[in-house]
Amino acid sequence: MSSRPVIQGRAQILIGDTTSHGGVVISGSPTTTVEGRPIARVGDMVTCPLCKPHVFPIIEGLGAFTDNYMAVALHGHKIGCGATLIASSNSREE
């Protein structure tokens, strides 16, 4: 079973998680990890194969939970091109 945190019913996003456009989270916290992977926050970068310039920041997060003053990104939050973040192991969302 995954140890990925679930906040308000949504799994936390980590480097390597994907998006609804087929992109991948490529940057995250320099200090906070889960399952050995850095957590993603507003401002961290995500690739998008469908939209130019192909790299966008995370633009939505939960401000009540921060890491280095940056809101933590959760499953379902958006990136700059409008794609939705998808936690690769979101089974604890129930």
- What fold is seen in the domain 8-94? Tumour Suppressor Smad4 (2.60.200)
Give 41-81 pLDDT, tens digit per residue.
999 999 999 999 999 999 999 999 999 999 999 999 999 99
Residue 91 has pLDDT above 70, yes or no: no
Among 23, 26, 49, 48, smallest CA distance to 37 is for 26
Mean pLDDT of 8-32: 97
Output the pLDDT for position 88.
86
* Domain spans, the chain: 8-94
Distances (CA, A) of 36 to 29, 41, 53, 59, 94: 12, 16, 29, 24, 23
CA–CA gap between residue 82 and residue 69 (Å, rounded)? 23
Output the pLDDT for position 4.
85
Task: Give the predicted TM-score (pTM) of the model.
Answer: 0.89
